[in-house]
Amino acid sequence: MKYLGLAFLAGLASALGFAPLGLWPLTIGAFTVLFWLIEGATSLRSALARGWWFGVGQFVLGLNWIATAFTYQAAMPAWLGWIAVVLLSLYLAIYPAVAAGLAWRWRGSSRVALVLLFAAAWIVTEWLRATMFTGFAWNPVGVVLIDTGLSWLAVAIGTYGLSAIVALLGGMFWLVSGNMADRKAGAWLILAIFGGAGISWTLAVPPGTPPAPGPAVRIVQPNIGQQDKWNRGYERRNFERFVQLTGPPTGAPRLLLWPEAATPDYLAFDMAARRRLAALLGPRDLLLLGGVEPIFDDAGNGIAAYNSVYVLTPDSRLIGRYDKAHLVPYGEYLPMRPILSAIGLSRLAPGDLDFHDGPGPRTLDLGAFGRAGVQVCYEIIFSGHVVDGANRPDFLFNPSNDAWFGAWGPPQHLAQARLRAIEEGMPIIRATPTGISAVIDAGGVVEQSLPLGTAGVIDTSLPRVAPPTPFARLGNILPFIFALLLIAAAIAVRRKTR
C-alpha cells in the first residue's frame, strides 16, 4: 500500500510542471520515481496499480480548474465540481496504468528496455486519451517542456513524442543509479535527446522572427466574467465594453478579433445586430467574432446550435463562418440528455440547446488580411487536428472563453496553443473575454499578451507563417514512428542483455 501512496504523491509532483507553476524538473523527477516503482512491482497487477495511482495524482491536481466551472452553474452544487475532477481522473489514469503495465510485461531483465518501452507506450496511450470517447487531450506531459529548448523536438515528433522525451529524461536519471552499463545507456540517451533537439531547432522557426509588414490587427479582451456574460440586463454594458476597446476607425485597414461567443445575437438572422456591429468598422476593416448559429426544425423551433465564428464586413455582410467541430462534453452538450437531465444534471454553460459539431478545420479567406484557420477554445489542444492541410492558412485564430477555467486553466490553455504553433510552424492569435489573450509566433514564443482579469487590447501585425514543418506535413504519423523506433531499440537491448 505504501508504494501506491508513493505513486500518488509522485503523480501530484508531476503536475507541478504544468502551467501556471512550470516546475518541469519536478515532472521529470516524478517519472524517475515512477520507473523505480514499476521495476519493483512483483506482478502485472501491481505495475498497473502503480501507474494508475500516478495518473490519479497527476490529473487530480492538474485538472483542478474543472471544479471552478461548476461554480457558474446554479442548477448544480459547487461541490459536485470536485467529484467530477476525481471521477474524470479515475478514468484518465487508466492510460498511464496501461503504459506502466506494458513496459513491465515486456521489459525482460533490462532496465534500459523498461525505459524505452514505457516511453513508446506513453506515446500510444496519450494519443488514445486524446482520441477515445471524443478525446480529452488536456495537459499532455510534453507541454511541461514548452519553455525549454527541448520544445523544438515537437516539429519532428509532435506533442506525444515530446511527452515520451519527458519520460526518457526521467528514465535517464533512474538509469544512472544502476550499474555501469545502465549509466552508459543513460549517457547515450541524453546525447540522443539533445542531439535531436539540435536537429529539430534547424527545422523550427527561430525565436524573435519579426512580424510581416501588413494591416493592423487589434485583439479585444473586454474582461467580462462568466457570471456577467449571460446575465440579463448586462447586454448593453457588455456591448459598450467592446465598443470602447474596439475604438473608432483609423482609416487604415484593421482586422478586429473578438473572443468566443462575443455576441448573444443570432447574426445570421438579425440584420439589425449586424448593422450595429458593422457601424464600428472602417471601410476596409473586418471583424472576426464568436457567436451562436441556431438550428431550427421545419416548424421554426430551435432544436440545436453551432458554436461559430463569423467574418463581418463594414457593409454588414457575413462573408465566412466556422463552426466548432470538437465540442466539450457537459460544457456544450449533455451526453445521454434524457437520462442525465432526468436526475438533475445539466450543461455547465447556460442554455437548453445542445451544440452540434461542425465539419472540422477550415480556412477562411480574409482578402487583404490573408487566410485564417479557426480553432474555437478547447479545439486548439488536439495535436494534428487544427489545420486544413489542403488549404494551409497564414495564421490560426483561437477565440476562447476561459472565464470559467479558474486560475490554472487559462495558462495551461495558452501553453498548449504554443505547442500547436511549434508543431505547425504557424502563428496563433488568441482572443478571450478575461485572459489570457495573446499573440504567439510560429516558433511558439508569446510576443504579446494580456493577463487574466484585465480589460485591454493588443495592437500588432500578424507574425510570419513558416514553411510547413515535418509535423505539419505528416502529423501524428511521426510520434508513432518514434514509438516504433523506441520499441525496436528496446528489443535490441533485450537481445544483447540475454
- Distance CA(40)–CA(448), nearest Å, equals 47
In a domain, 195, yes or no: yes
Q: Count each helix (H run) and each strand (E run) in the chain, helices first.
A: 16, 12
- Distance CA(111)–CA(73), nearest Å, equals 49
Instruction: Read off the pLDDT of each residue in 2-27 and give the average, rounded to a whole number.
Output: 95
Q: Same domain, yes or no, for 72 and 165?
A: yes
Find the length of the chain: 498
> Residue 25: CB partners within 8 Å, gap ≥ 6?
17
Residue 195, CA distances (Å) to 146, 215, 429, 465 in order = 18, 40, 31, 26
Q: Same domain, yes or no, for 384 and 441?
A: yes
Q: Same domain, yes or no, for 132 and 256?
A: no
**Residue 218 phi, psi (nearest 5):** -125, 120
Half-sphere exposure of 400 (CA within 13 A, CB side): 28
Q: What's the Rg (C-alpha) of the chain? A: 24
- Distance CA(180)–CA(169), nearest Å, equals 18
Burial class (CB in 10 A: 0-12, 13-18, 19+), 232: exposed
Give residue 422's domain range: 216-468
Instruction: Read off the pLDDT of each residue in 376-390 and give the average, rounded to a whole number.
Output: 93
Instruction: Read off the pLDDT of each residue in 474-484 and give the average, rounded to a whole number.
Output: 94
What is the per-residue pLDDT for 80?
Answer: 75
Buried residues in 314-336 as b, exposed as e (16+ CB within 10 A): bebeeebbbbbbbbbebbbbbee
Given a contact cutoff of 8 angstroms between Cβ atoms, the answer to whether 399 and 260 are in contact is yes
The residue ranking higher by pLDDT, 179 or 348, is 179
Q: Same domain, yes or no, for 304 and 159?
A: no
Instruction: Read off the pLDDT of each residue in 393-418 and give the average, rounded to a whole number.
Output: 92
Q: Is 93 helix (H, G, I), strand (E, B) or coil?
A: coil
Q: Is 395 helix (H, G, I), strand (E, B) or coil?
A: strand
What is the per-residue pLDDT for 182?
Answer: 65
Opening angle at CA 121, ends 129 and 143, nearest 5? 60
Instruction: Read off the pLDDT of each residue in 407-414 and give the average, rounded to a whole number.
Output: 94
Sheet containing 254-257: order of strands:
318-323, 302-312, 286-296, 254-257, 216-221, 456-460
- Residue in 311, 246, 310 with CA at minimum distance from that of residue 279: 246
Q: Same domain, yes or no, for 155 and 271?
A: no
Q: Which residues pair with 198 in a beta bridge?
A: none
What is the per-residue pLDDT for 125?
Answer: 97
Residue 339: pLDDT band (50, 70, 90) is: very low
**Residue 364 phi, psi (nearest 5):** -100, 135
Identify residue 336 by its one-letter amino acid code. Answer: M
Selecting among 126, 293, 332, 377, the annotated active-site residue is 377
The cell numbers describing 441, all together, are 509566433
Handedness of CA 462, 464, 469, 473 (dihedral sign): positive
Counting residues of the chain whose pLDDT is more than 70, the rounded percentage is 85
Q: Same domain, yes or no, for 344 and 484?
A: no
What is the per-residue pLDDT for 282?
Answer: 92
In a domain, 271, yes or no: yes
Return left, alpha or beta for 108; rule: phi > 0 is left, psi -120 to 50 is alpha, else beta.
Answer: left
Model confidence at 492: pLDDT above 60: yes
In a domain, 209, yes or no: no
The residue ranking higher by pLDDT, 118 or 67, is 118
The residue ranking higher by pLDDT, 336 or 252, is 252
Give the largest CA-CA distance in the chain.
Answer: 78
Residue 160, CA distances (Å) to 15, 94, 157, 396, 451 in order = 17, 17, 7, 21, 28
In a domain, 211, yes or no: no
Mean pLDDT highest for which of 9-13, 196-200, 405-409, 439-443? 9-13
496 is catalytic: no
Q: What is the CATH number of the domain that holds 288?
A: 3.60.110.10
SS3 content of the chain, % helix, strand, coil (to 5): 50, 15, 35
Q: Same domain, yes or no, for 37 and 185?
A: yes
In a domain, 210, yes or no: no
Q: How far is CA 166 from the centre of its chain?
A: 18
What is the per-residue pLDDT for 208?
Answer: 56
The cell numbers describing 212, all together, are 510581416
- Distance CA(275)–CA(286), nearest Å, equals 13
In a domain, 14, yes or no: yes
Q: Same domain, yes or no, for 152 and 297?
A: no
* Peptide bond before residue 20 is cis, with ω within 30 degrees of 0: yes
Model confidence at 338: pLDDT above 60: no
240 is catalytic: no
Selecting among 126, 229, 293, 324, the annotated active-site residue is 324
Query: Could you give the number of structural domains in the chain?
Result: 2
pLDDT, tens digit (0-9, with 9 covering 90-100), for 276-302: 999 999 999 999 999 988 887 777 677
Instruction: Read off the pLDDT of each residue in 445-471 and give the average, rounded to a whole number.
Output: 92
- DSSP line for 320-378: EEEE--S--BTTTB-TTHHHHHHTT---SSS-SSPBPP--S--EEE-GGG-EEEE--GG
Model confidence at 9: pLDDT above 90: yes
What is the per-residue pLDDT for 170?
Answer: 94
DSSP state letter for 388? -
The cell numbers describing 188, all together, are 547515450
Given a contact cutoff of 8 angstroms between Cβ atoms, the answer to whether 374 and 396 are in contact is yes
Opening angle at CA 21, ends 15 and 24, nearest 5? 60
What is the per-residue pLDDT for 342?
Answer: 44
Element at 317 (helix H, strand E):
none
Residue 209: pLDDT band (50, 70, 90) is: low
In a domain, 311, yes or no: yes
Instruction: Read off the pLDDT of each residue in 213-218 and give the average, rounded to a whole number.
Output: 81
* Peptide bond before residue 193 is cis, with ω within 30 degrees of 0: no
Per the prediction, the chain carries an average pLDDT of 87
Q: Among 67-71, 95-99, 288-292, which stretch is predicted with the lowest mean pLDDT?
A: 67-71
- Distance CA(307)–CA(297), nearest Å, equals 18
Q: Same domain, yes or no, for 59 and 160?
A: yes
Q: Same domain, yes or no, for 35 and 178?
A: yes
Q: Same domain, yes or no, for 74 and 124?
A: yes
Residue 308: pLDDT band (50, 70, 90) is: very high
Identify residue 285 by its one-letter amino acid code. Answer: D
Neighbours of 75 (CB within 10 A): 11
Counting residues of the chain whose pLDDT is more than 90, the rounded percentage is 59
The structure's pTM equals 0.91
Selecting among 260, 332, 379, 424, the annotated active-site residue is 260
What is the per-residue pLDDT for 104?
Answer: 93
Q: Same domain, yes or no, for 195 and 279?
A: no
324 is catalytic: yes
Model confidence at 447: pLDDT above 50: yes
pLDDT, tens digit (0-9, with 9 covering 90-100), for 341-357: 544 455 555 555 677 88
The cell numbers describing 166, all together, are 519527458
